[in-house]
A and B are shown apart, each in its own frame.
Chain A
Amino acid sequence: MSSSAATATGIGASVLRKEDLRFITGNGRYTDDLNQPGQSYAVFLRSPHARARIIGIDTREALKVPGVFAVLTGADMAADGLGDLPCGWEVKQKDGSDMVRAPHPPLAINVVNYVGEPYGVVIAATRAAARQGAEAVMTDFEEREPVVDLATARDSAAIHDGVPGNLAYDWELGDRAATEAALASAAHVTRLDLTNNRLIPNAMEPRAALGVYDRSGDEYTLYTTSQNPHLERLVLSAFVQIAPEHKLRVIAPDVGGGFGSKIFVYAEETTVVWAARKVGRPVKWTADRSESFLADAHGRDHVTHAELGLDADGNFVALKVETTANLGAYLSTFGSSVPTYLYGTLLAGQYRTPNIHVEVHGVYTNTCPVDAYRGAGRPEATYVVERIVETAARELGQDPAALRRRNMIRPEQFPYETPVALIYDTGNYEASLDRALELVDYAGFPARRAASEAAGRKRGIGFACYIEACGLAPSQLAIQLGAGVGLYESGEIRVNPTGSVTVFTGSHSHGQGHETTFAQVVSDRFGIPFENVEVVHGDTGRVEFGLGTYGSRSLAVGGSALVKAADKLIVKGRRIAAHMLEADVDAVAFEDGQFVVRDSNQSLAFGEVAFAAYVPTNYPTDLEPGFSEKAFYDPQNFTYPAGTHIAEVEVDADTGVVTLVNFVAVDDFGHVINPMIVDGQVHGGVAQGAGQALLEHGIYDDYGQLVTGSYMDYCMPRADDVPDFVVDTTVTPCTHNPLGVKGCGEAGAIGSPAAIMNAVTDAVGSNDVSMPATPEKIWRALAG
């Protein structure tokens, strides 16, 4: 695949990023950097209560504030016929019935169900006037008892009419009877109760939206912080019904991080694009960080009981898991799928466990909606599997690496069908385990532990051998399982008459570096200079269609679409070259950027063929001019990145402070296009996982007020909270996509929480520590 012309910048090269030049010089263009002539500013009216009935909204004083143009409410939106924000994944319950959807108007109408829920908007000439207007709105609420505690939510009063027990769904996967029987006859059963703490995503760029309505063409444009602008357009058009798709353009320019939180279709962008027409001016909204905390979809938040059965030799015979998952007050765009199909299906991990059953209760609470956050379901699954496996090893007095190794699926067993509905195509789990053991110097751990002990600190080591299902997703399978859309990706390659190339992708880069890696893929395929390839993304007006970036899918699915499009161009180029060189098409090959007639010295450069396609003088009469092709790529299976993460921590017994002193990540992502970028993705993911394990926790009090609503209260990982990371890769290429790639964006956040918590519990000698392992919890655990 790699061509000599492109070796320095081709597949496998750590090419410096194209996008960096604008970012490091302050020339990035994020949504809040954009302005429109005559624009107005939106400030949202947000519920101060976790649960209340709206008795009345008095806007008279607000409308007197100089500069205020309008105060709009949920009732105004409903009067204009706008629909609810949909949940795009239908989960079938155990009994075959549909999940129970609560109505979710973009702006709340009669009831509010979480603190921060928007129920109206003030639009004014300046942000200050809009803010002043919002403060002048008098809303009469009748407070009601909120349901906040996940553990008791099912026994609490119903939040939504027609949703008894606050249960959105009861879902299961796997063979319950076989699993229970295997547990009953197991030689040893390890039982574990776990909580997976609520996280608040906190991309550094707060969400923002700028809605524009052009009366002359009856056309809307929405600039917004989205990971998937085409999906945003589809939802706003088909479900919310703001405008037909061909009258709505969605542009996601530079986006400052997403981590899942910018996948979803939210109230705010819906409101500004609708309001732009209503007030006759562009409407701009930029979230305060406080709003991000309150109203960006949160992540995780599970309570789980798990049981792992082992036979007398230490082979896993059964895993039974029961999880209550907090969905928040409403089903967010993909909220239903995260604790089900992205969670239960991963509970086999890297192991041959023959019997697995998982039951998930998805419950509503009076908290911000919960949806995908980096890893989305897979970190939660890994946390269950890897915590209970480590616990079993401790209970049985076995080496945790050896117990894992004994139970791993072996290379010759692929493709491997798990008891929870996935078919792993390939992998070599022992290879990454061995490399990680070597990098962490496992043999030297007892000496390091003794040295720490001598210095008055407790040292622990912990493993996580994770697997994830990425490259979402085979459309037919996803739709069968409840997805409302296909999960293919589109790509288009336009070769310009002078031979430079513009690539259009439905993937969206918000930090991943697609402008670089996708250019590497295309330049490598064509044997042309990397500098001649420009990647365009994030604009429904320029890119035909796309499903966006999440689930580590961009390269595996979006990149594969580009390879398909490139190969179509090569087929066409061979026909053009054959005609020009008066050779048979079958005799023309494409090698190193040249169309070559085999067994001759005749050839044409890629650029010469492109030029001929646009200036068709000597050209096949039965061939269309032009040199551009597009392709849709629908994967045949998920991809299965996997690896071993090992954490070492030191605990100060006097203060309870945990220090992450060493972290090794060895991941198998298949082929790697740009190792520099892949390492960076792992670093970032591990830091987020370390945040979950040691620092971060989204906490609501009993009244449903978010206690951790700012950076003063929510503990983000800072530079001095994490160490240098040791990262490496092993390679088993994906068997079913043309690049042999698996995806690398989420792995760091998937493996690290379990590895770090296994290390923490090893250090303190107690399993009774929940995430985040704060000094107080550690101190209490040590105090016994």
Chain B
Amino acid sequence: MQITLTVNGTQHTLDVPENTLLVEIIREHLGLTGTHVGCDTSQCGACTVHLDGRAVKSCSMLAGQVDGASVTTIEGIGTPEALHPMQAAFRECHALQCGFCTPGMIMRAIDLVAEQPDLDSKAVRAGLEGNLCRCTGYHNIVRAVLHSAGSDQGGAP
């Protein structure tokens, strides 16, 4: 099937099999490998991207569902020279170790802060429930999200 979608501000028209997943479009067709695949049951959240501004697990969206949509991936929110505040907070709070879950975690965290500006630690933990991290024990991820949200509870970075 032919679909047209905008990824990180650039429009793409692709001819893909109907059973193609959004994450396959992103990684394999567009070569944007910052979005990762960590499971096959939509549980880990490593593939989280923004679809029309909201965080979605891109392993759970089919090509047909994203026709006409606007997608933002980790590559689209900031660069090493001009980091998104959430990217900067993750670095400053040591909220990543191996880095594999990180892109999905950051994309989810940005959406979380947007939907609930007055977050506390408990709300952050609940909000990140769909994203697995095996390295950090979540402690510093929670700090980073609170820090980025401007809450004092994040403590000094």
Contact = CB atoms under 8 A, between A and B. Distances in A.
A443 interface: no
Interface majority SS (helix, strand, loop, mixed), chain B: loop
Nearest to A204: B100
A716 B40 contact: no
A385 to B, nearest CB: 24
B66 interface: no
A676 B124 CA distance: 21
Given A26-B33, A27-B34, A711-B39, A724 B96 contact: no
A17 B36 contact: no
Interface in B22-63: 27, 32-41, 43-44, 46
Interface string B123-157: 01110110111111111111000000000000000
Contacts of A510: 98
Most buried by A among B75, B78, B87: B87
B34 A716 contact: no
Interface stretch (A255-263, A334-342, A472-480, A572-580): A255-263
A205 B36 contact: yes
A288 B37 CA distance: 9
A710 interface: yes
A686 interface: yes
Contacts of A724: 121, 139, 142
Interface in B87-129: 87, 90-92, 94, 96-103, 106, 121-122, 124-126, 128-129
Contact of B94 (A676, A719, A748): A676
Given A289-B39, A290-B40, A722-B137, A25 B96 contact: no
Contacts of B92: 16
B80 interface: yes
B137 A20 contact: no
Contacts of B75: 25-27
B137 A204 contact: no
A257 B98 CA distance: 5
A677 B98 CA distance: 12
B98 A203 contact: yes
Most buried by A among B33, B41, B74, B100: B100
B102 A23 contact: yes
B132 A255 contact: no
A22 B137 contact: no
A724 B122 CA distance: 10
B48 to A, nearest CB: 12
Contact of A257 (B27, B74, B94, B100): B100
A26 B34 contact: yes
A684 B129 contact: no
Interface residues of B, number: 54
Contacts of B138: 683, 687, 717-719, 722
Contacts of A24: 74, 78, 83, 87, 90-91, 96, 99, 102-103, 106
Interface string A690-723: 0000000000000000000011100011111010
Nearest to B136: A684
A333 B106 CA distance: 36
Contact of B33 (A33, A206, A259): A33
A141 interface: no
Contacts, number: 180
A711 B42 CA distance: 9
Given A19-B99, A26-B34, A687-B138, A716 B91 contact: no
B43 A712 contact: yes
A710 B83 contact: no
A21 interface: yes
Given A25-B87, A719-B142, A256 B98 contact: yes
Contact of B132 (A204, A511, A725): A204
Nearest to A24: B87
Given A23-B99, A725-B137, A204 B74 contact: no
A289 B83 contact: no
Contact of B125 (A257, A286, A720): A720
B80 A27 contact: yes
Contacts of A67: none
B109 to A, nearest CB: 11
Contacts of A779: none
A711 B129 CA distance: 13
Contacts of B106: 24
Interface majority SS (helix, strand, loop, mixed), chain A: loop
Interface residues of A, number: 57
Interface string A653-689: 0000000000000000000000011011101111110
Given A25-B74, A204-B132, A680 B41 contact: no
A734 B96 CA distance: 28
A268 interface: no
A156 interface: no
A513 interface: yes
A688 B134 contact: yes
A680 B80 contact: no
A725 B103 CA distance: 24
Interface in A124-141: none
A20 B86 CA distance: 13
Contacts of A687: 136-139
Given A25-B78, A720-B125, A683 B136 contact: yes
B81 to A, nearest CB: 9
A254 interface: yes
B91 A20 contact: yes
A30 B80 contact: no
B99 A712 contact: no
A719 B125 contact: yes
A95 B103 CA distance: 54
Contacts of B10: none
A17 B91 contact: yes
Interface string A12-53: 000011011111111111101100000000000000000000
Contact of A25 (B46, B80, B122, B136): B80
Interface string A338-356: 0000000000000000000
Given A204-B100, A680-B97, A720 B41 contact: no
Nearest to B38: A204
A7 interface: no
Nearest to B24: A127
B100 A22 contact: no
Contact of B34 (A25, A256, A286, A684): A25
A512 interface: yes
Nearest to B143: A724
Given A23-B102, A257-B98, A718-B132, A683 B137 contact: yes
Given A16-B91, A19-B99, A26-B34, A257 B134 contact: yes
Given A718-B129, A720-B129, A26 B91 contact: no
A297 to B, nearest CB: 16
Contacts of A717: 137-138
> 5 closest A-B pairs (Cβ-Cβ)?
A26-B34, A256-B100, A23-B99, A687-B137, A511-B98
Interface of A: 16-17, 19-30, 32-33, 202-206, 254-257, 259, 286, 288-290, 510-513, 676-677, 679-681, 683-688, 710-712, 716-720, 722, 724-725, 748
11 contacts: A16-B91, A17-B91, A25-B74, A25-B75, A204-B98, A204-B133, A510-B98, A511-B99, A680-B140, A717-B137, A719-B125
Interface of B: 27, 32-41, 43-44, 46, 73-75, 78-80, 83, 87, 90-92, 94, 96-103, 106, 121-122, 124-126, 128-129, 131-142
